[in-house]
Amino acid sequence: MTDSPTTLPDRDIADRLCEQVSDAFSEHTPLRIVGGNTRAFYGRPVDAAPLHVAEHRGIVHYDPVELVVTARAGTPLEALEAVLDDNHQMLGFEPPRFGPQSTVGGAVATGLAGPRRPWAGATRDFVLGTRVITQHGRSLRFGGEVMKNVAGYDMSRLITGAQGTLGVLADVSFKVLPKPPASYSLRLALSLDDALVRMTELGRRPLPITAAAWHDGELLLRLEGGRSSVATTRQELGGEPLDPSFWQALRDLRHDFFTLTPGQTLWRLSLPANTAPLALDESHSQMLYDWAGCQRFLKTTLDGAALRRACQAVGGHATCYTPTDQGGSDAPFTPLDPVVEKYHRRLKDQLDTRHIFNPGRLYAAF
Amino acid sequence: MDILYDEAIDGALAPFEKADVLSDLQHSVPTLRLLHREEDLRPFECDGLAAYRVLPMLVAMPDTLDEVETLLKRCHALGVPVVTRGAGTGLSGGALPLERGVLLVMSRFQHIINIDPDTRTARLQPGVRNLAISEAAAPYGLYYAPDPSSQIACSIGGNVAENAGGVHCLKYGLTVNNVMRVDVLTIEGEHMTLGAEALDAPGFDLLALFNGSEGMLGVITEITVKLLVLPEVAKVLMASFDNVEKAGKAVGDIIAAGIIPGGLEMMDKLAIQAAEDFVHAGYPVDAEAILLCELDGVLADVDDDCDTVRGVLENAGATDIRLARNAAERAVFWSGRKNAFPAVGRISPDYYCMDGTIPRRELPRVLNGIAELSRESGLRVANVFHAGDGNMHPLILFDANREGELALAEDVGGKILELCVAAGGSITGEHGVGREKINQMCSQFDADEITLFHALKAAFDPQRLLNPGKNIPTLARCAEFGAMHVHNNELAHPELPRF
């Protein structure tokens, strides 16, 4: 895949992908599913022949009035979001882009969401339907282009975030949202403890907040909604204006915070709302709070096991963002409870009997 | 549609005798309340789809999770099917009992474990009523958003099992979008937590898979839901149209204006007249269609949006637009819509309620198709929609006492669902498949897709003991594919509004 994503034409190569999967099944040859290859850091390395999905690209159907867009998995996020933007619409889960090659399929397969997530919903909350290539090389349709659909099991949401371990995403239908008419970002000088209290207080009021972070002595807020409510809330909260590009930098892990010093690894902590700062050795760690404290990025030299224990004790979990070959954990995702793991294995065995789809990507066992 | 479980089509069940199962359960779970006499079983023979009735073999009414766990382990060992039931208000026969199965009634688990205003979450036992959540959260200025019509009676466990909807789905989502965590017991009696109090959990999104799985994958024993901050204000506009297509187009125009209403509902002439006759909401009985548009949020924004929507409705050709002046009038506007089902029940001996969804743009075409089917069959059809999210509830009026009319109604219903599927929609938006729409699944999904659904099921319940015969048809059933049957002349809870 040496072509620049911007020069590739729109193409439907689903038939070819089906054949490749079918061959891999017959020959027991595992596949590593690759879109724009910008999310390789997120998960365990897969040692297998690549299945390139990037050429399967283009918007299949978009009707702004329906609030639905269907795109092929290889469509660059940038291209899709540009089309939505032309129609004053957006993907509500604010997916990160780790480069211009980042694809729709990669966004859904990893299920990562940006700063808006606590207010708008997760990736899977916006996935209405999928076309999935299954182990036998069949292209199957689940869900659809309608807002409400409870026929059959929710395969589309199950496959979101499954990192290609249950099948190959071919097409995805998203619910899209109108862009808010007004947006204003601000910064308030506040200590961490005061900021956490403030975020909890603000969360209990009907305010048009769509992002809340804390970093380096400042509470950073984004207000979005109707012009009237944004103006009123801006007046009430005060503070200094914040360049809104901060949120894209945070979303895409491009903010200066994400520069590591030698020996440090980057972790993402996912914790319940209103969780107090964890007792982690400050001399070994630096923290950036996102999602009103529910998502915390940690640069640390601390041991992963200790981190995980601290997160699990408060009902959360920790994911290592630093690849194994750069000193990161070889088990980037928190190990599953034994019963839950048993059913993960059984699901994998049912949908991918020969373990051809991204084997070991999430956990070594499947 | 044959209501009874048919082993030749739906799959073979293990051999066992009722007396043996009863004595095994009495011995292994001595504290468990078990019903086995016909007169005690009778009240459990149906759920909200009262036209479908089957007497269960046994009814179990546990008070503790230990009892549930042991019951499941014993049923698993004996090969006895288990049908889980919440409040029994479902409209698709998802909790229809099996003659050769245990009905596990979870309605005694009614405790609200915790409401946390700071994390805006509620921890609930599965039998907690939907409306009770919002009532308990109200003192903190919070509420639980999904509001299925039966919310005064339906329970949160059943809501999760069915992925229940309501009138506010377009803006606030279905149950799946508002549940953070569930605890379940597997058919093997193992405890499992899916999701988290955090905003995500490691591994596959089994939480999403369990939402709407209709009791086929496990038994839900505890639920954590997210609570939302009560909007500062809600306002309702009612617009009249002299043409259904204009009303349908106005729905799209509102969305195109960048507004997501809290609720956006549509009724056609027959539904308007029936509702007005029943509740006297002041509906325009000469209009061909009305739209009810609820806007909620911060006061200043809602006022701006009201002005925008009013302009859109005028441009779309509305003949009359009224804004509810206060909360009382708002409730009156809604009362007609919320009572549309019983209102239609007053003008016809029987009606047959559909739950198809379509892309909104197809609304005029599908409406014309329904009108054509109505003309051809001579059966009246009243149309009530969650127009904002394309979820239609056409009500086919018929008289079961007239020779052949039930079959005719079934035929019209089947064709309406085929119209929905052909338009790119779904056979069910919020009521679920259950037993009712088991045959229609064959028209929405092909054999490969149904085979994959069976594979998902096999991961959790390879012996097919949880709610067999529901949700996913066997391929044998699809080969037999019959006409649909949703005869429903008598709701189990006539006191509940249905919308």
- In chain A, which among 201-260 make CB contacts under 8 A with chain B? 203-208, 225-229, 232
Q: Is B232 in CB contact (< 8 Å) with chain A?
A: yes
Chain B CA closest to residue A340: B192
- What is the per-residue pLDDT for B489? 33
Q: Is B16 in CB contact (< 8 Å) with chain A?
A: no
Percentage of the residues of chain B whose pLDDT score is greater than 90: 83
User: pTM for this structure?
Assistant: 0.95
On chain B, the residues whose CB falls within 8 A of the CB of A145 are 359, 424
pLDDT digits (tens, 9 = 90+) for B288-316: 999 999 999 988 899 999 999 999 999 99
β-bridge mates for residue A357, sequence order? A31
Tell me the torsion sign for CA atoms B169, B173, B174, B180: negative
Measured CA angle at A158 (ends A77, B77), to 5 deg: 170
- What is the per-residue pLDDT for B483? 36
The answer to whether A270 contacts B196, with C-beta atoms less than 8 Å apart, is: yes
Mutate: best of A89, A116, A150, partner B, most B CBs <10 A:
A150
Residue with more model confidence, B361 or A28: A28
Residue B55, pLDDT above cutoff 90: yes
The answer to whether B389 contacts A146, with C-beta atoms less than 8 Å apart, is: yes
Name the minimum distance, in Å, from the CA of A337 to any CA of chain B.
Answer: 8
On chain A, the residues whose CB falls within 8 A of the CB of B193 are 337, 340
Q: Is B213 in CB contact (< 8 Å) with chain A?
A: yes
**Least CB-CB distance to A65: which of B141, B255, B304?**
B255
Chain A CA closest to residue B391: A148
Band (B486; pLDDT cuts 50, 70, 90): very low
Q: Is B206 in CB contact (< 8 Å) with chain A?
A: yes
On chain A, the residues whose CB falls within 8 A of the CB of B359 are 63, 66, 68, 145-146
Q: Is B125 in CB contact (< 8 Å) with chain A?
A: no
The answer to whether B202 contacts A138, with C-beta atoms less than 8 Å apart, is: no
pLDDT digits (tens, 9 = 90+) for B83-125: 999 999 999 999 999 999 999 999 999 999 999 999 999 999 9
The answer to whether A161 contacts B142, with C-beta atoms less than 8 Å apart, is: no
Tell me what the mean pLDDT of segment B12-32 comes to: 97
**Least CB-CB distance to A148: which of B258, B298, B389?**
B389
- Phi and psi for B366 in degrees, rounded to 5? -70, -40
Residues 6+ apart with CB under 8 A from A350: B455, B456, B458, B459
Residues 6+ apart with CB under 8 A from A42: A110, A112, A163, A319, A321, A332
On chain A, the residues whose CB falls within 8 A of the CB of B444 are 151-152
Band (B481; pLDDT cuts 50, 70, 90): low
Could you tell me which CATH class the domain A182-251 is placed in? alpha beta
Chain A CA closest to residue B473: A152
Q: CA–CA distance from B196 to each of A50, B103, B370, B487 (Å)?
A: 34, 29, 44, 40
Distance CA(A149)–CA(A154), nearest Å, equals 9
Q: Is A349 in CB contact (< 8 Å) with chain B?
A: yes
State the complex-level ipTM: 0.97
| 3-class state of residue A240 by DSSP | strand
The answer to whether A118 contacts B199, with C-beta atoms less than 8 Å apart, is: yes
The helix-helix angle for A338-351 and B447-460 (nearest 10°) equals: 160
pLDDT (tens place) for every residue of chain A, 366 residues total: 444 445 678 999 999 999 999 999 999 999 999 999 999 999 999 999 999 999 999 999 999 999 999 999 999 999 999 999 999 999 999 999 999 999 999 999 999 999 999 999 999 999 999 999 999 999 999 999 999 999 999 999 999 999 999 999 999 999 999 999 999 999 999 999 999 999 999 999 999 999 999 999 999 999 999 999 999 999 999 999 999 999 999 999 999 999 999 999 999 999 999 999 998 877 888 999 999 999 999 999 998 999 999 999 999 999 999 999 999 999 999 999 999 999 999 999 999 999 999 999 999 999
On chain A, the residues whose CB falls within 8 A of the CB of B360 are 65-66
Distance CA(B449)–CA(A144), nearest Å, equals 13
The answer to whether A148 contacts B460, with C-beta atoms less than 8 Å apart, is: no
The answer to whether A144 contacts B425, with C-beta atoms less than 8 Å apart, is: yes
CATH architecture of A14-178: 2-Layer Sandwich (3.30)
Q: Is B489 in CB contact (< 8 Å) with chain A?
A: no
Mutate: best of B187, B197, B200, B446, partner A, most A CBs <10 A:
B200
- What is the per-residue pLDDT for A6? 54
pLDDT digits (tens, 9 = 90+) for B189-240: 999 999 999 999 999 999 999 999 999 999 999 999 999 999 999 999 999 9
- What is the per-residue pLDDT for B264? 95
| 3-class state of residue B211 by DSSP | coil
The amino acid sitting at B428 is T
On chain B, the residues whose CB falls within 8 A of the CB of A146 are 357-359, 389-390, 424-426, 429
- Phi and psi for B171 in degrees, rounded to 5? -90, -40
Q: Is A273 in CB contact (< 8 Å) with chain B?
A: yes
Residue B493, pLDDT above cutoff 80: no
- What is the per-residue pLDDT for B482? 47
**Fold observed for domain A260-326:** Alpha-Beta Plaits (3.30.70)
The answer to whether B298 contacts A208, with C-beta atoms less than 8 Å apart, is: yes
**Least CB-CB distance to A232: which of B119, B258, B300?**
B300
Asked whether the domain spanning A260-326 has the same topology as the one spanning A14-178, the reply is no
Tell me what the mean pLDDT of segment B338-349 comes to: 90
Chain A CA closest to residue B356: A149
Core vs surface per residue A210-226: b (16+ CB within 10 A) or e: bbbbbbeebbbbbbbbb
The answer to whether A347 contacts B140, with C-beta atoms less than 8 Å apart, is: no
- What is the per-residue pLDDT for A231? 96
Strands B233-241 and B289-297: antiparallel
Q: Is A312 in CB contact (< 8 Å) with chain B?
A: no
Band (B497; pLDDT cuts 50, 70, 90): very low
pLDDT digits (tens, 9 = 90+) for B238-260: 999 999 989 989 999 999 999 99
Residue A262 in tokens = 């030698």
Q: How would DSSP label each residue in B385-452? A: EEGGGTEEEEEEEE-TTSTTHHHHHHHHHHHHHHHHHHTT-BS-SSS--TTTTTTTHHHHS-HHHHHH
Per-domain boundaries in chain A:
14-178, 182-251, 260-326
- What is the per-residue pLDDT for B480? 83
Tell me the torsion sign for CA atoms B130, B133, B139, B144: negative
Distance of CA B2 to the CA centre of its chain: 21
Place of tokens 């006409």: B483
Chain A CA closest to residue B439: A151
Place of tokens 């979870």: B106
- In chain A, which among 2-61 make CB contacts under 8 A with chain B? none
Distance CA(B130)–CA(B207), nearest Å, equals 19
